[in-house]
Amino acid sequence: MFITRCFRKRAGPAALLGATLLAGTSGWGAVQAAGSDVQQKPVQGGTLTYLEQQAHTNLYPPAGGFYPNGGILNQITDKLTYQNPQTLEIEPWIAESWTVNADATEYTFKIRKGVTFSDGTPLDAAAVAKNYDTFGRGNKDLKLPVSEVINNYDRSEVIDSQTVKFIFKKPSPGFLQGTSVIGSGLVSLKTLALPYEALGDATKIIGSGPFVVASETLGRELTLKVRADYNWGPAKLEHQGRAYLDEIKYIVTPEDSVRIGALVAGQSDVIRQIQAYDEKQVEDEGYLIYAPSTRGVNNSVVFRPDNPLVADVRVRRALLHATNADEIVSTLFSDNYPKATSVIAKTALGYVNLSPKLSYDIEKAKTLLDEAGWKLGANGRRQKDGQTLELSAYESLPQPQNKETLQLVAQQWEKIGVKLNVLTADSGSAVVNNLDPAKAPVSPAMVGRADPDVIKSQYYPTNRNVLLQKGGNSDKVQSFVDERLNALLDQLASEPDRTKRLAVAGEVQNYVVDQAYAIPIFEEPQAFAAAPYVKGVSFEAVGRPSFYNTWLAPRR
Amino acid sequence: MSRYVIGRIGQAALVLWAAFTVSFILLQALPGDAILIKFLNFELGLGPEQIADIRASYGADSPLLVQYVHTVISFLTGNYGYSIHAGVPVGDLILANLPQTLWLATLGFLLSLVLAITLAALSALSPFSWLRSLIQSIPALFISTPVFWLGILLIQVFSFQLKLIPIINPGPWQALILPVLTLAVPISAPLAQILMRNIDHVLTEPFVAVARAKGASHRWVLWKHVAKNAVLPTLTIAGILFGELLAGAVVTEAVFGLNGLGGLTQRSVNDQDIAVLQAIVVFSAAAFVLINLTVDLLYPVFDPRLRVKQGAVA
């Protein structure tokens, strides 16, 4: 009640401006529209206060996928290449240029001269080689794990002080994009010499980025200071030289209402994580919502066909057609959460539109279940051989309103006589039970990355293995393996020809939907809110903020 | 006296050991573990062999007894291990979070004492019985106020509406005002209730009647005779309330985004960060034991009868 009243009082011309800027656009588009007033000359200086929902965890760069980590690493580390968030093209950054051999097993990078880490050591070919040897192979003595984005890595060769070559055991076409992601941030050899357990201390992470960690209170606060001598931003960016801001203060504020209230009360400038239902009150006050797409595998519900209840493709298809994604998006979310039209987002590389195959058709769903032998019983539930079609799924805490989403799916499935139990558990039980197809035949899933490799990350048995195939991370699986899917995924990760690779990506999407392994629901954004005087907020390709270009206009 | 103290210290050590062992067994019995949660969840897509490697490197797959002995020895030598989730030594985490919680708990406790005594005094001094019963029903209201709700309400009113106290980037003292108030309200309730009941009880004792007969005023009787006698059971409760303080700190710290042991406990439970939890359990048990020991040793100070008894035994 207090929030609403407080907002009404202060709504004024600023609200109108915000509404105009945001009208009809969503996500990244909104950011571009807001660019119209970037005509003003950027102001140098000032402190940006950024409210984060969760404390960062281990800052070993390949662990940067966790958003609180990525939000910090993106400011303090540079990458070999820069993925243009609009075109998704790979552009020069720390690497001035590169060559790739025909079968994508050898990559040679020419490193920009004069780049240094904030401890003064040079970022040269040797440093890059050491970084990738660590990310690509891990380091058992230091307990450093292998990076998810580097496939088939063999070794590096330092050719001269500015040239480094990477050699792969098998074709690795996703590697070039992999050099641009948050998990491939380059760090000083001093950082790489530390054991994994020591990397949760942000002050130990020494990068070459536009900001440097100045101090931190564990679990609470982190201060970044600008690096005045920074002069090696992505080559094609208009802004070069040091960042505009002097300082960024990250403050962990877990409570949603406190983050939003503090933003609107002028106590902070940017906040991460705002739920769809809170967007309106923030926009009404003239504040901006940024909802960059995560451009990866859509927020979906996946099946574990090892469980006999969902082993029949007809049952899975029936549930796919019984799921009304439109209703979920319009009931629980906002325009920033577009309805899914394929396994991956529209803005993802290799996307094909599969809307016709994802139609909501309850009659078709009923027919499919009848054909599969699941008849409506006296209690209104589908039954077969004395068994009831009753499924369970564990909610996933990091996904937005996941419990509500699953509960709405459960209501929709109820209409064709299928029961879905939505379960909540402590993280330990949830992780363990979610690995057991008998206990979790259905599961929510999503992952962000702007390369088709992301589909492999999601489904391949030795990666995330969301379908729970045999030979992966679960020892509870009896027999389920889909050789055809895995062969396609292998091909996706190793096809060196770009056109052919994107064709394979399309084939995989079709296959996953034809088999109804997944029910895509919506394209998941990362939602941020910022005060109107915060200009030039940008995001890397999967929605982590970059404050290199950010400046603070005088507050009105 | 010294034998009494040594006995109490021995008891305390036993309690600590028991807390350590029981929490060790319980934490090991939980499904899943920190490594599984951290590495399987959303960050690194690792294969089963890599996770097995990580587990081996943390010694998480050695037999329970070996792990137990190993943990006991490390604790005795002051090595609390590493937080798997946060990636820093547990000692550092505790040190970073302890001062804030100590301040919060100490000030919260003091304020709750002030609140309780004020309420009790007001009720004892109130001239009308309706006012008295009104005041006496306040503790019931206080204890049934949800801490998170009170915290958010205070933030909304004092920080966002009246803009008196910033909640983001406050000064060190500003940062404590609202959380201390939030924490003190529910803690003060049982204290106030017991104090009020004791005062009422002591007022009916014969020696009070004697004092009155000698011509003492109501106020003088309260201050000189009743207060001293009513404070003793309150002290016992105060020692027990320490546990409440820690529990209250979990919610308060989450709402106000403070770093502290409460917030750390909550995060570590979520992530099953066993090394951190083990250290927190032992630390809290130590604090609990210490406070109750202090309370026991304070009894003779407040009650001369106990002093005489102690002397007779020793």
Q: Is residue A510 part of a domain?
A: yes
Degrees, nearest 5: CA angle B299-B301-B302: 70
Question: Do the beta carbons of residue B277 and residue B268 sit within 8 Å?
Answer: yes
- Check whether residue A359 and residue A483 sit in a common domain: yes
Q: Residue A541: what pLDDT?
A: 85
CB–CB contact B257 A220 (8 Å): yes
Q: pLDDT higher for A512 or B240?
A: A512
Distance from CA of B249 to the nearest CA of A (A): 14
What is the CATH classification number for the domain harbouring A517?
A: 3.10.105.10
Q: Is residue A1 part of a domain?
A: no
Distance from CA of A536 to the nearest CA of B (A): 23
Q: Is residue A375 part of a domain?
A: yes
Interacting residues of A250 by C-beta distance below 8 A, sequence separation 6+: A50, A51, A52, A71, A72, A221, A222, A223, A224
Q: What average pLDDT does this structure show over B276-290?
A: 86
- Check whether residue A93 and residue A179 sit in a common domain: yes
d(CA A6, CA A287): 14
Q: What is the DSSP letter of A147?
A: P
CB–CB contact A252 B33 (8 Å): no
CB–CB contact A255 B267 (8 Å): no
d(CA A328, CA A547): 33
Given pLDDT bands bounded at 50, 70 and 90, which one contains residue B173? confident
B:121-160 residues touching chain A, CB 8 A cutoff: 152-153, 155-157, 159-160
Q: Considering only the beta carbons, identify the residue of B45, B89, B161 that sits closest to A6.
A: B161
Q: Which of A556, A509, A528 is nearest to A400 (CA)?
A: A528
d(CA A188, CA A59): 13
pLDDT lower than 70: segments of chain A = 1-39, 450, 556
Backbone dihedral region for residue A288 (phi beyond 0: left; psi -120 to 50: alpha; all else: beta): beta
CB–CB contact B259 A472 (8 Å): no
Q: Locate all alpha helices (DSSP H) within A170-251, ordered by sequence.
A: 175-178, 189-192
Element (H, E) at B29: helix B2-29
d(CA A225, CA A409): 46
d(CA A411, CA A431): 25
Q: Is residue A45 part of a domain?
A: yes
CB–CB contact B168 A251 (8 Å): yes
Q: Which of A114, A447, A507, A97 is nearest to A295 (CA)?
A: A447
- A462 contacts in B (CB within 8 Å)? 47-48
Judged against a pLDDT cut of 60, whether residue B64 lies above it is answered with yes
With both helix axes pointing from N to C terminus, report the angle between A13-22 and A276-284 in degrees, rounded to the nearest 10. 130
Q: Residue B222: what pLDDT?
A: 82
Fold of domain B97-306: MetI-like fold (1.10.3720)
Could you please report the per-residue DSSP string of B135-151?
Answer: HHTHHHHHHTS-HHHHH
- Check whether residue A277 and residue A249 sit in a common domain: yes
Could you please report the per-residue DSSP string of A25-52?
Answer: --THHHHHHHGGGGGSPPPP--EEEEEE
Q: Which of A524, A552, A523, A518 is nearest to A537 (CA)?
A: A552
Could you please report the per-residue DSSP string of B70-134?
Answer: HHHHHHHTT---B-TTT-SBHHHHHHHHHHHHHHHHHHHHHHHHHHHHHHHHHHHH-SSHHHHHH
What is the CATH classification number for the domain harbouring A49?
A: 3.40.190.10
Q: Does B47 touch chain A (CB under 8 A)?
A: yes
Q: Which of A331, A207, A333 is nearest to A274 (CA)?
A: A333
Question: Do the beta carbons of residue B94 and residue B261 sit within 8 Å?
Answer: yes
Question: Do the beta carbons of residue A465 and residue A482 sit within 8 Å?
Answer: no
B:153-192 residues touching chain A, CB 8 A cutoff: 153, 155-157, 159-161, 163, 166-169
Judged against a pLDDT cut of 50, whether residue B138 lies above it is answered with yes
Indicate the number of domains in chain A. 3
Q: What is the DSSP letter of A377?
A: -
What is the ipTM score, two decimals? 0.76
Q: Is B184 exposed, middle or buried (0-12, 13-18, 19+ CB in 10 A)?
A: buried
Q: Which of A336, A337, A279 is nearest to A7 (CA)?
A: A279
The average confidence (pLDDT) of chain A is 88
Q: Is residue A30 part of a domain?
A: yes
Distance from CA of B298 to the nearest CA of A (A): 37
- Check whether residue A282 and residue A181 sit in a common domain: no
d(CA A193, CA A19): 50
- Check whether residue A219 and residue A303 sit in a common domain: no
- Check whether residue A508 and residue A395 sit in a common domain: yes
Degrees, nearest 5: CA angle A480-A486-A492: 160
- A48 contacts in B (CB within 8 Å)? none
Q: Considering only the beta carbons, identify the residue of A221, A254, A257 that sits closest to B152.
A: A257
- Check whether residue A284 and residue A414 sit in a common domain: no
Question: Which of A220, A299, A454 has the highest number of chain B CBs within 10 A, making it the mutation to test binding with B?
Answer: A220
Q: Is residue A82 part of a domain?
A: yes
Interval B190-209: pLDDT, tens: 889 988 888 888 888 888 88
- Check whether residue A475 and residue A412 sit in a common domain: yes
Q: B126 to each of A109, B49, B223, how far by Cα in Å?
A: 84, 73, 15
Q: Is residue A71 part of a domain?
A: no
- Check whether residue A397 and residue A428 sit in a common domain: yes
CB–CB contact B37 A268 (8 Å): no
Q: Locate all alpha helices (DSSP H) within A214-372, ordered by sequence.
A: 256-264, 276-284, 313-322, 325-332, 362-371
Given pLDDT bands bounded at 50, 70 and 90, which one contains residue B234? confident
Q: Is residue A64 part of a domain?
A: no
CB–CB contact A65 B32 (8 Å): no
Q: Residue A36: what pLDDT?
A: 45
Domain ranges of chain B: 3-76, 97-306
User: What is the token pair recorded at B1?
Assistant: 């006296």
Interval B19-62: pLDDT, tens: 889 988 888 887 777 777 766 654 455 666 667 777 777 777 77
CB–CB contact A265 B50 (8 Å): no
Q: pLDDT higher for A493 or B238?
A: A493
d(CA B14, CA B8): 10
Residue A468: domain span:
297-522
The average confidence (pLDDT) of chain B is 82
